Amino acid sequence: MKQEPMHRSDFAFDLPKELIAQHPLDRRDSSRLLCLDRRDGSICHRHFSDLPGLLRPGDVLVMNDSRVMPSRLLGHREGTGGAAELLLLEQKGKDLWETLARPGRKLRPGARIIFGDGLLTGEIVDTLEGGNRLVRFFYEGDNFFAVLDRIGQMPLPPYITEELEDRERYQTVYCRELGSAAAPTAGLHFTPELLEELQRGGVQTGFVTLHVGLGTFRPVKADNITDHHMHLEHYTVPPETAQMVNAAKAEGRRVIAVGTTSCRTLESAWRDGKLTPGPDSTGIFIYPGYRFQVLDGLITNFHLPESTLIMLVSAFAGYEHTMNAYRVAVEERYRFFSFGDSMFIGDMR
């Protein structure tokens, strides 16, 4: 049996800097779509607006409806006036959040940070394992998220250096459950019109919620990828989605995940031969050798070299097929990462 790739360097590829998309296209569904047949590795080039012609009546398309919080807070340290920044990661209690904090050496327990000309104050409560900070917030009124909406910024990845004019472009058109620290970017290509066209064509659409944490994007530092550990992320599978997916699997119809977050939710919630509804948490790490239980297709963007996300794609499409597809995408000048182009992986017959 062929040995599966297990080293971080197996998932490296050369990416010219100019192929990293810095802004979204004017129209969401005008992005390019690389179609990869997971049976034989064959490739064709389409546009995302062609998706209705690639899906079949009876297919179930599962999307992550999590909404990104404007969770990047820029402020100054009380007393010194020095610049400080927090990125909200996970709520730990009323007005209590786990955060990434900069500059870390200056933000020790007891330090206070002022945001939005005093609309919000954060006090460092504790330094957590790994260096994250536990922060308690103080503000007028009783709605923290209303304050956050006024003064927070979208947590764009560090490889995006241009300002985002319309922050709704870092949200999917179907998002509704506030809680993510990053966008489930595979869904950014959908428009309301495209979703309507898919439904008219007999494609069923269902939703799950997985609040994306930065653990998904945490670099793999271990040389042997099996030594890497994922952070937990919270998810919910609604009963109607579980029913839809279970019926499709029983009847031999395809289940297609939009994005790695939807994929990880579906695979995590599959127990005893069925998709289980309800809330839970997952730290699932999918890499080559994993046996998929639910997925028949995957829509996903192009991911960073040596990331857990390209490892997941390699597990689904096959390592050789995936790395060849990435080489082709570079040669064909596809746009990469969050605001970039898309892939559809499945049986293209």
Structure tokens at 27: 């129209």
Tokens coding 292: 């998929």
Residue ranges making up the domain that contains 331: 8-68+167-346
Looking at the fold, whether 115 and 237 belong to one and the same domain comes out as no
Residues β-bridged to residue 108: none
Polymer length of the chain = 349
> Going residue by residue through the chain (349 aa), what tens digit of pLDDT does each one get?
456 778 999 999 999 999 999 999 999 999 999 999 999 999 999 999 999 999 999 999 999 999 999 999 999 999 999 999 999 988 899 999 999 999 988 899 999 999 999 999 999 999 998 789 999 999 999 999 999 999 999 999 888 988 888 999 999 999 999 999 889 999 999 999 999 999 999 999 999 999 987 666 578 999 999 999 888 899 999 999 999 999 999 999 999 999 999 999 999 999 999 999 999 999 999 999 999 999 999 999 999 999 999 999 999 999 999 999 999 999 999 999 999 999 999 998 7
Q: Which residue's entry shows tokens 């996300």? A: 309
If asked whether residues 134 and 219 sit together in one domain, one would say: no
Beta bridge partners of 76: 83, 114
CB atoms within 10 A of CB 85: 17
For residues 103 and 87, state if they share a domain: yes
Say yes or no: 62 and 76 in one domain: no
Last residue of a domain, one of 99, 116, 151: 151
Total domains in the chain come to 2
Residue 157 falls within a domain, yes or no?
no
User: Are 196 and 58 members of one domain?
Assistant: yes
Same domain, 214 and 291: yes
**Residue 1, domain member (yes or no):** no
Regarding whether 211 and 287 lie in a shared domain, the answer is: yes
The answer to whether residues 119 and 217 belong to one domain is no
Which ranges in 115-238 belong to alpha helices (H)? 144-151, 192-200
- Calpha distance 343→322 (Å, rounded): 10
Q: Which of 90, 119, 151 is the last residue of a domain?
A: 151
Distance, CA of 73 to CA of 85 (rounded, Å): 6
Residues 147 and 171 in one domain: no
**pTM for this predicted structure:** 0.92
Shared-domain flag, residues 187 and 60: yes
